[in-house]
Structure 1
Amino acid sequence: MENFRFETQERLGDTIGEVAYRRIRSHIVNGQLLPDSKLKLERMKDVYGASVTTLREILNRLAVEELVTAEGQRGFRVAAASGAEFRELAALRTLLETHALRASIMQGDIEWEASVVAAHYKLSVAERRLVASQNNGVDKWVSCDWGFHHATIAACGQPVLMKTHASIFDRFARYHMLVMNFRGQGVVDDHTSLRNLVIARDADAAVALLTQHIQSGFDHVMATGCFE
């Protein structure tokens, strides 16, 4: 389930491969596995508790998601990161998410509204803690940020779009995690306003705010000077 996208704990019915897949993907997105670093299967076997064969399957799967680069007989590396890619991801996230948001506002029911409010509450708690500390918890924030944005578009009725958006979100979020720098009160206010506009069914204003919100995230990361 997409609600558990950033959770790495084993759940009832999980296979070893599924747990290892979520952990490796999470470690790439949250920056524990750095861009362009070599992924050594023998070492990963001990870290993730999966066979070399299973790990190869996982890394090939992550290569399709463009979080990993396959190097033929030379193995695998974590995908590189660049300002050019981040710019493209921001544009694609905006395109997909604004389309899905407008459709969700048109089609969502009361249960959808409740899920948006619940996801925002969880995010607001993580953000209050971050504003207070400014130096830890960014990884938890990214998980809650995903939960909120996913909730706002979950009623769009377009599963292919949702799957593509989830992959783009992972890659976009990785850049925030690599700089480990929370945007502050401005992003908190954006999320509160977006929740209110969604519940009010004001699609035009919600789409405008979301577009500005994603652009601000891009600008914030680029301003760190970590990417060219």
Structure 2
Amino acid sequence: MKVKICGLMDSETALKAAEYGADAIGLVFAESKRKVTPEKAKDIVSVLPAEVLKIGVFVNETKEEIERIASIAGLTHIQLHGEEPASFCQSLSFPVVKAISFEGNEALSEITQFPTDYILLDGPKGKYRGGNGIVFDWQQVNTSYLEGKKVILAGGLHLENVEEAIQIINPYMVDVSSGVETNGIKDLTKIKAFIEKVKTLPVGGKR
């Protein structure tokens, strides 16, 4: 099972996350308490191994600005967390992760028609589009809609609930941010424990 640590803001923490086994790191360029500048993101990306995915998080941003930031920072993937249409995904020159705040299976069936390999399932919208640490009811998700997609599961995951979440959704990757923080700051002990737990869990293999 793959792990993404999102909302990283410094090189030291990002490097440690990679050393602990993180497969992807998320850098937030949308309005958020975890927002970083393109230049700071470049510093973070520069210390990471090549095989770690560097995913930039954007909300309703212009194509030009996304491409500009991605080029400066050295991103490998773009995560779209707003109302971006399918045509917008196709217009970008980077692989896209399309995020959806799960609010029912009707919207889920529409989002899976997007021309992207990755779908990120997140909790309900809060103050920000993502990173709100809000769990949703995984049992409500009709996973048959997700066949053929690499599903990244986010939304309030932490050490105590990630095993249940994986058993129900069987995602390609799990995404954690607030669940590995203490007082709003990334906690290396929690990051290490979370990654170690996920890496030891059995994978169902449906996707």
Same fold (TM over 0.5): no
Over alpha carbons, which structure has the higher Rg? 1
TM-score normalised by L of structure 1: 0.27
TM-score normalised by L of structure 2: 0.28
More helix per residue:
1
More strand per residue:
2
